[in-house]
Structure 1
Amino acid sequence: MAMDYGDYGRAEARRAHHRVPAVLRAPLEGRTWREFLYLLLSLPMAVLTFSFAVTMTTAGIALLITFVGVPVLAAALVGVRALGAVERARARVLLKLEISEPEPVRPRNGRTGLMSWVGALLKSGVSWRHVLYAVLHLPWAIGAFTVSVVMWSVGWALFLYPAYWWMYPEWWGQPGMQFGGDSEHDAGLFVDNPFEIGVTCVAGLLVVLATPWVIRGLASVDRLLVSGLLGPSRLAERMWELEEDRGVVVDTAAADLRRIERDLHDGAQARLVALAMDLGLAKEKLEEDPEAAARMVDEAHGEVKLALQELRDLARGIHPAILTDRGLGPALSALAARCTVPVQAEVDLPARPAAAIEGIAYFTVSELLQNVSKHSGARSARVDVWHSADRLMLQVWDDGRGGASTTGGSGLAGLAERLGSVDGLLVVDSPEGGPTTVTAELPWRG
C-alpha cells in the first residue's frame, strides 16, 4: 500500500510537456482508439455471451425436472465464467482495467468429488453474476456500438469533406453531399459552395472533438459492469486481504522469534556460558591462588554486567518497558536520544491508542531511525506523531542524501507490508539529494 511521490512528480512533468490542450489531443490519443476498439468488439462478444448464457441457462432450468438439467445448467455456468475470463482480459488490455480474478469454486466443508463441485458451482454468486452480466451487456453493447460508430464516422466524414468534395460532381454526378430530400420534387440541400463546405467541416470538427469524450463515458460504464459483475465480491476481496495480512503477520512473528533466538544464542547465552566456565576456574583456584581467583571473579562480575545489558537491550527490542509504563511520547524521546543523528521528537496525542498500535508505531519509528543512522548520511532528523480523525499519523524527516524507496525488496518494502497488515499505509518522498520524508498512517483503535 505504499506510495512513491516521485512517480507523481514524473507524471506531472510529463503532463506539463503537452502544449496541445487535451480536447485537441483526445481524438488521436491511444486511449481513445483502444476504448473505441473495445466498444466495437463488445457487440459481437455480447451477442455470443448473451446467446450462450440465455440458451444454456433456460435449457438447464427447463430440464431440471429431469437429471439432465443439472449438468446442462452447470455447463452453462462454466461457459459464462470462461467467457467472463475473456471479457476481463479484454478489459485489461483495452480499458487498462486492473481487475482481480473472482474467487474459484470451492465445495464447502472440504468435500471432494464432482457432485460437490457442481453443487458449489450452482450456489456460487460469482457464477450467477456472470449470467447477469451476459444479459445486461447486450443491450448496452448495442447502444454503445451504435453511438460510437455513428459519431466517429459522421464526425470524420464531415470534417474531411473539403478533401473529397470534388468526387461528387466528378464521379457521382451530383453537386455535393446531399442533406434531406426524398423525391424528385424535394432534392434537399447540396453542400457545394465554399461557405457550406466550411460550415460542414467545422461541424465535423466539433463532432470529432466531442466523440472521444463520449467514447470514454461509454467505456466507463463498461468498466463498472466488468468490475461489478465479473470481478470478485467485496467480501471475497476483503477475505483475501485478511489472508495475505495474516501471512505477513505470521512471517513477521516467525522472523522476530528467529532474531530473538539468534540474539540469545550468540549474545547473552554465549556470555553466560563463558561466565560459568570462568567461575568454575575461579572456584578451582580459590585455595591455590586466592588473588588470581579474586581477579577472575572480578572479571566475571564485569561479564555479568554486560550480559545484563544485552538482556535489557533484547527485552527493549521485544517491547520496551518505557512504552508500556509511560506511553509513546517518552518512548520515542528515549529512542531519539539513542540515535546517532540528532533527532527532535514531538508527540501530540490526546490519549493513548491501542497497545498493539502503539507498539507498531514505536517499532516503525525505530526502524526508520535506524535507516537514518545507517544509510542517509543525515545531519539532523525529526519525528512527529499526531492524531487525525481515526488515524495515528507519524512522520520521520531527515536531511540526508535521499533516494529511499519501497521497491526492490528494501527494508521499507517490508515495513510497508507490516503496516498494510493492520490497514496501515506508508508513503515515501525521497528525491535524490534529499530530504527524505516518510509518513505512516495507522488505525487509531483507542
Structure 2
Amino acid sequence: MSIDTKSDGGRTRARGMGLAAVRGLALALISLPGAVLCFVLSLVSLALIPIGVGIVTTPWVLTGVRTFADWRRVLAAEWGGVRIPPAYRPLPKSANPWTRTFGMLRDPATWRDLLWLPVDMTAGFITALLPAVLLFYPLEGFAIAAGLWRVLPDGYWYGFVPVTGQASALGAGALGLVILFFAHFLTTPLLQAHFRLTGAVLGSNQGELAERVRVLTETRRDAVDTSAAELRRIERDLHDGAQARLVAMGMDLGTIEMLLDKDPAKAKQLVAQARRSSADALSELRDLVRGIHPPVLAERGLGDAVRALALRLPVTTEVTVELTGRAEAPVESAAYFAVSEVLTNAVKHAGADRIWIDLHHTNGMLRITVTDNGRGGAVIGAGSGLAGIERRLGTFDGVLAVSSPAGGPTMVTMEIPCALS
C-alpha cells in the first residue's frame, strides 16, 4: 500500500512539474511580446500628450494596459493561487478625452501598471521561462549522451560541459540529470515566484484597504436600512395587530362594567369575547417576538431553530446539521432569517414539493445549502428576496450563491465566516 501511495505521489508531482513548465513557457512566449507592445505604446502615447495627439490615444492605450494587467491577475489567481485585486479609480463614462487621460494618469494604479511592464519583460520573463528550461533542457543532455554528439558542430557546449566525444557526452547527460533533479524541487516554486513578483508590483495594500472600506460602507448602509425597515415592520404589526386588539379589549371591558347590573347575559358574552381577544393578542405578540428573535434560536441554537422552521413547512423537508458549537448571536440570527426567506421563496414561488437543508461548519466558515426540486429560474436581482438575503449576509462578510437552471433544481448556498463556541 505504501508503494502505491509513493507511486501516486510521484505521478502527481510529475504532472505538476509538467503543468508548471508548460504554463511558464506559455507565459514567457505570450506575455513578453504583450508587455513590450504595451510598454512601447504607452511611452509613445505619453510623449505625444504635449502636442495633443496623446490626449486622444492615451486613454485607449492605458485601457489596453489595464486589460493586459487584468488578464495576468486572472492567471495569477487561477494558476498560482495569488490574488491581486485591481484598485483602479472609477472614471465617468461620459468623460471627454482630456478628463479621462488625466484622470487615469492621476490614478496610482496606472503607474503601478506601467512600472510592472518592464519588470515583467525582464525578471518576470526569466521566472516564467525557468520552469520550462529546468524541465526540458535536460532532454538535450540525454540526447547528447545517447549519440547526438556525433552530429554536433565542433566546440559545442552543453551548459558548462564542452562536448568533444563520448566521455564528454556522458558528462552532458550527467549534467542533464542533475538539472532534472533540481527541476523536481524548483519548477513549481519558480512559477509561484513569478506570480508573487507580479502581485508585489501590481498589488497594493492601499487598494485592498480602499476596497475593504467601500464594502464595509455599503454593508453598514444596508444594515442600517434593514434595521430601520425592521423597526417600521414591528411598529406596523404592533399598531395593526396586538395594539388594536388591546384597545378593543379595553372598550369591551368598559361596556362589561356598565352591563354587569343591567344585562348580565350580555356582559357574559362580552367577557368571552374579551378572553378570545386577549388570546389572539397574545398569539400575535408571540408571532411578533418569534419574528424578531425566535425563542428556540436563543435557547437551542441555529440547528434546532432551522429544524423548527422545517416542521412548519407544508412540504417534505430534510434537515442535516453538523455543528459542533454555536456561532455568535448576530450571526445565528442572520443565518436563521436568511434560511427562512429562502424556504419561503421555495414554497411560494418555486412550487417545490421537497426541500433539503444542510448546515455545517468547516475551516472557519458556516455553510448552509438549501436545495429544492421546484421549477428553477431564481436569480439575484434588485428588489428580489435573494438580493435582500445577500445584503443581510454581506453585513457579516458572508456570500450568497444561487444555481437555479430553468426547470430546476434550485440550490442556494450561503457562507458566513465565523467561529463556533
Mapped to 1, the partners of 2:183 and 2:44 lie a distance apart of: 41
Residues 1:371 and 2:356 aligned together: no
User: Aligned residue for 2:166?
Assistant: 190
Residues 1:40 and 2:40 aligned together: no
Within the candidate set 184, 191, 210, 1:219 is matched to 191
| Structure 1 residue matching 2:166: 3-state secondary structure | strand
RMSD across aligned positions (CA)? 5.4
- Change in Cα spacing, 1:131 to 1:212, as seen in structure 2 (3 Å) is farther
Contact 1:180 1:189 in 2 (8 A): no
> Could you list the runs of 5+ residues in structure 1 that have no partner in the other structure?
1-15, 321-330, 340-364, 387-391, 395-400, 426-437
Deviations 1:310-346 (A, max 9, x none): 43663586479xxxxxxxxxx99x942xx5xxxxxxx
| Structure 1 residue matching 2:90: 3-state secondary structure | coil
Q: Pick 1 or 2: higher relative contact order, CA cutoff 8 A, min separation 6.
A: 1
CA shift for structure 1 position 134: 0.6
CA shift for structure 1 position 141: 3.2
TM-score (norm 2): 0.60
Residues 1:291 and 2:274 aligned together: no
- Change in Cα spacing, 1:157 to 1:133, as seen in structure 2 (3 Å) is same
Mapped to 2, the partners of 1:258 and 1:222 lie a distance apart of: 55
TM-score (norm 1): 0.57
Mapped to 2, the partners of 1:270 and 1:382 lie a distance apart of: 44
Residues 1:79 and 2:34 aligned together: no
Percentage of pairs with the same residue = 24
| Structure 2 residue matching 1:404: 3-state secondary structure | strand
> Could you list the runs of 5+ residues in structure 2 that have no partner in the other structure?
311-317, 334-355, 361-366, 372-387, 400-415
Whichever residue aligns with residue 55 of structure 2, its letter is V
Whichever residue aligns with residue 245 of structure 1, its letter is T
Residues 1:150 and 2:143 aligned together: no
Residues 1:253 and 2:240 aligned together: no
- Structure-to-structure mapping, 1:165-314, within 5 angstroms: 165=146, 188-191=164-167, 204-230=176-202, 233-243=207-217, 245-246=219-220, 249=223, 252-253=226-227, 256=230, 260=234, 264=238, 268=242, 271=245, 275=249, 289-301=263-275, 303-304=277-278, 306-308=280-282, 310-311=284-285, 314=288
Residues 1:88 and 2:23 aligned together: no
Contact 1:179 1:188 in 2 (8 A): no
CA shift for structure 1 position 139: 0.8
Contact 1:46 1:141 in 2 (8 A): no
Residues 1:52 and 2:37 aligned together: yes
Contact 2:59 2:100 in 1 (8 A): no
Mapped to 2, the partners of 1:297 and 1:25 lie a distance apart of: 81
- Change in Cα spacing, 1:319 to 1:407, as seen in structure 2 (3 Å) is closer
Mapped to 1, the partners of 2:100 and 2:159 lie a distance apart of: 62
- Structure-to-structure mapping, 1:396-415, within 5 angstroms: 403-405=358-360, 406-408=367-369
Mapped to 1, the partners of 2:327 and 2:64 lie a distance apart of: 54
Mapped to 2, the partners of 1:54 and 1:297 lie a distance apart of: 89
- Structure-to-structure mapping, 1:344-423, within 5 angstroms: 365=301, 367-374=302-309, 403-405=358-360, 406-408=367-369, 418=392, 421-422=395-396
